[in-house]
Structure 1
Amino acid sequence: MPASPAVLATEVSEPIAIVGMGCRFPGRVASADELWSLVAEEVDAIGGFPIDRGWDIDAVFDPEPGW
């Protein structure tokens, strides 16, 4: 059973420290700072579907999304 909102509010006020972060994002972004720049500059980072990963492309890719 999830904790009640009163309990969560108490726990959220505890300090935390982020000591590391790993990420993989589109647009050749290699860091959190680069991701922020990409978002802030409204860069379109959508690319083609990767074909070099050994996936069954016909099974996972729909050329007409939303249908």
Structure 2
Amino acid sequence: MDPIVRSSAAVALGNMGEAATQYIPDILNFLKDEKVDPIVRSRAAEALGMSDKGQLMNRP
């Protein structure tokens, strides 16, 4: 998939805030996968930072 589309999707998830918490495992997978485009990983990190902090603390 196009990195621009993937990074845009990550930004959209971040903009969803608390509603995106169900996607946190997917976001974490992007961050762990070194094969994923660095821009996508960066946007995934931003989305993670914009999601509900309370939910993050309950993740392994």
Shared fold (TM-score, shorter chain, > 0.5): no
Calculate the TM-score normalised by the size of structure 1.
0.21
Larger helix proportion of the pair: 2
Higher RCO (CA 8 Å, separation ≥ 6 residues): 2
Calculate the TM-score normalised by the size of structure 2.
0.22
- Larger Cα-atom Rg: 1
